[in-house]
């Protein structure tokens, strides 16, 4: 069965764009690989942070909407983004984040993995998860974080749902996940390969209200498909399951299909290519505002609406 392979990217809602840049590059050491705009609402940035080459699966992205209210936790929303870090690095990361003024929770064991959680400057809950799984990853030479400590990419996601069964059936029957047990009320689902970047944890909280998007929340989860044909095949199954997927949308760096999973979380299918280097040199990724061709005629108008971004404030490595 043609299916999705892993997480492609996760898009979240931030507050101030400069504060977001300062934290994810200056503190977490991730490279901004694309500085663009929300193609549907081009008056706001779309900022992409990843490894040095912008590999699919390493990419955490943000819409900075400082005027929005904070996200309201509840069912039908992602509750945590998991980022992969090397085994043995959590102590180093605890010290770095604490130095940056971030409140960090004590490490815990989850599903036999060492995990440390914190909240970013705008309220997003993030987990650093130690893993030795092989990943597509290129260290960034200009990162303030040493190569041997750098974030390797997206590791896992956590969702809160009204019930497990409906979403679980959709994940296993339509998207190709398998169930992998439960722990402390969290039910784990894995994509084939069962390695870093292929993990989705779901918790049922039937008494909770519907969650609402806002700053510090996750906007959507994007799942990798290798090519256009696979995307169309998966889209056909989603449509047959009455999830009403969008037509394929050309995002220029990848092609996308959006749909709501049964519990209400916004999912996306995204192709692996053509990638972020299609419209700017690989060695200057993220340094300038890049627009897809259909928005280029509006550049002056778009630039006038965006706040300026200066080089990030960097926390030096110890």
Token code pair at residue 254: 């990848």
Amino acid 213: pLDDT: 97
Condensed to tens digits (0 to 9), the pLDDT of residues 8-46 reads 999 999 999 999 999 999 999 999 999 999 999 999 999
Q: Distance between CA atoms of 160 and 150, rounded to whole angstroms? A: 28
Gyration radius of the chain over CA positions: 19
Interval 43-72 mean pLDDT: 97
pLDDT of 318 above 70: no
For 20, the 3-state DSSP assignment is: helix
242 assigned to some structural domain: yes
Q: What is the arrangement of strands in the sheet containing 199-204, beginning at the earlier edge strand?
A: 108-110, 113-119, 125-130, 77-85, 153-161, 199-204, 186-190, 178-183
Burial letters for 121-130: b for 16+ Cβ neighbours within 10 Å, e otherwise? bbbbbbbbbb
Domains held by the chain: number: 1
Amino acid 1: pLDDT: 66
Condensed to tens digits (0 to 9), the pLDDT of residues 225-281 reads 999 999 999 999 999 999 999 999 999 999 999 999 999 999 999 999 999 999 999
Query: Residue 213, preceding bond cis, omega within 30 degrees?
Result: no
Condensed to tens digits (0 to 9), the pLDDT of residues 183-231 reads 999 999 999 987 999 999 999 999 999 999 999 999 999 999 999 999 9
Q: What is the DSSP letter of 277?
A: G
H or E element: which one contains 60?
A: strand 59-64
pLDDT of 317 above 90: no
Amino acid 209: pLDDT: 96
H or E element: which one contains 263?
A: none
Q: Are 189 and 177 in contact (CB under 8 A)?
A: yes
**CB-based burial of residue 119 (10 Å sphere; 0-12 exposed, 13-18 middle, 19+ buried)?**
middle
Amino acid 152: pLDDT: 98
Q: What is the DSSP letter of 244?
A: -
1 assigned to some structural domain: no
Q: What is the pTM of this model?
A: 0.98
H or E element: which one contains 8?
A: strand 7-14
In percent, how much of the chain has pLDDT > 90? 97
Q: Which residue has the tokens 């995990």?
A: 115
The sign of the dihedral angle between the CA atoms of 24, 27, 31, 34 is positive
Interval 161-170 mean pLDDT: 96
Kindly report the CATH number assigned to the domain that includes residue 174: 3.10.180.10
Question: Mean pLDDT in the chain?
Answer: 97
Q: Distance between CA atoms of 246 and 260, rounded to whole angstroms? A: 10
254 assigned to some structural domain: yes
Give the phi and the psi of residue 47 in degrees, each rounded to 5. Answer: -110, 130
51 assigned to some structural domain: yes
What range defines the domain where residue 170 resides? 7-305
200 or 317, higher pLDDT: 200
Amino acid 99: pLDDT: 97
109 assigned to some structural domain: yes
Token code pair at residue 163: 């019930």
Amino acid 67: pLDDT: 96
Q: What is the DSSP string of 83-145?
A: EEE-TT-HHHHHHHHHHTT--BPPPEEETTEEEEEEE-TTS-EEEEEE----------TT-SS
Strand partners, 32: 49
Amino acid 194: pLDDT: 77
Condensed to tens digits (0 to 9), the pLDDT of residues 92-115 reads 999 999 999 999 999 999 999 999
pLDDT of 309 above 80: yes
310 assigned to some structural domain: no
259 assigned to some structural domain: yes
Amino acid 170: pLDDT: 98
């Amino acid at each position: 069965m043609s299916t999705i392979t892993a997480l492609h990217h996760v898009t979240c809602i931030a507050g101030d764009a400069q504060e977001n840049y300062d934290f994810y590059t200056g503190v977490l050491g991730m490279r901004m690989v694309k500085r663009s705009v929300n193609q549907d609402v081009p008056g706001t940035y779309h900022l992409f942070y990843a490894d040095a080459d912008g590999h699919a699966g390493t990419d955490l992205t943000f819409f900075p909407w400082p005027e929005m209210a904070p996200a309201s936790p509840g069912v039908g929303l992602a509750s945590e983004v998991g980022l992969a870090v090397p085994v043995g690095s959590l102590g180093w990361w605890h010290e770095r984040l604490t130095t940056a003024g971030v409140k960090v929770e004590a490490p815990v064991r989850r599903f036999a993995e060492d995990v440390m959680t914190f909240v970013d400057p705008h309220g997003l809950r993030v987990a650093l998860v130690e893993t030795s799984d092989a990943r597509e990853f290129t260290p960034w030479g200009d990162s303030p974080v040493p190569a041997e400590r750098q974030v390797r990419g997206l590791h896992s996601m956590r969702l809160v749902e009204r019930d497990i069964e409906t979403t679980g059936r959709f994940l296993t029957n339509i998207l190709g996940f398998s169930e992998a047990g439960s722990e402390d009320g969290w039910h784990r689902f894995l994509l084939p390969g069962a390695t870093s970047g292929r993990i989705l944890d779901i918790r049922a909280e039937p008494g909770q209200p519907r969650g609402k998007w806002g700053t510090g929340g996750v906007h959507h989860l994007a799942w990798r498909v290798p090519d256009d044909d696979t995307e169309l095949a998966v889209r056909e199954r989603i449509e047959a399951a009455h999830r009403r997927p969008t037509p394929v949308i050309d995002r220029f760096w990848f092609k996308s299909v959006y749909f709501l999973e049964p519990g209400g979380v916004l999912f996306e299918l995204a192709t692996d290519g053509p990638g972020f280097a299609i419209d700017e040199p690989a060695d200057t990724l993220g340094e300038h505002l890049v627009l897809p061709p259909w928005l280029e005629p509006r550049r002056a108008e778009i630039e006038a609406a965006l706040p300026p971004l200066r080089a990030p404030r960097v926390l030096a490595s110890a």
